[in-house]
Amino acid sequence: YDLEGGWDEQKSTFAYKVISQLGQYSPNLTSLVVDHEFLTPRDIEEQFHAVQGHWHHGDLTIHQSFMMRPLHGAAQYDTPVNGLFLCGAGSHPGGGLTGLPGQNAAKRVLKLRGAK
């Protein structure tokens, strides 16, 4: 999370390296990029209130996986609060761009409501 020298000083260098690496797999990519925005973990934390810029709302370690994600007793998207369901990045299978936590939570709601 804390980068030696600070993220602000390394941000443009890191972004350039990422684009260059991607350019190895996509011809002419570097010449096609006209602008970019690179968010560091610190930027993500400040803008989206995700602790240490972690889009999974916590580490994907064994004690926060499967039946323990996001916490013991709430792994099936429903909570002890009647009608309250969890569907964010902290729920299985985690964050990213999949939308799977929301889809899985919706399926759980439908199942509990008796829908087929």
51-104 per-position pLDDT tens digit: 888 877 777 777 777 777 777 777 788 888 888 998 888 888 877 768 899 999
CA-based radius of gyration for the chain: 19
How confident is the model at residue 20, as a pLDDT?
A: 93
Total tally of structural domains belonging to the chain: 2
Same domain assignment for residues 107 and 66: yes
- Domain of residue 45, residue span: 7-53
Residue pair 38/17 in contact (Cβ under 8 Å)? The answer is: no
Same domain assignment for residues 104 and 78: yes
Task: Report the mean per-residue pLDDT for the chain.
Answer: 85
Banded pLDDT at 107 (limits 50, 70, 90): very high
How confident is the model at residue 105, as a pLDDT?
A: 93
Indicate the pTM of the whole model: 0.58
1 lies in some domain: no
**Tokens, residue 110:** 């439908």
How confident is the model at residue 106, as a pLDDT?
A: 94
Same domain assignment for residues 47 and 67: no
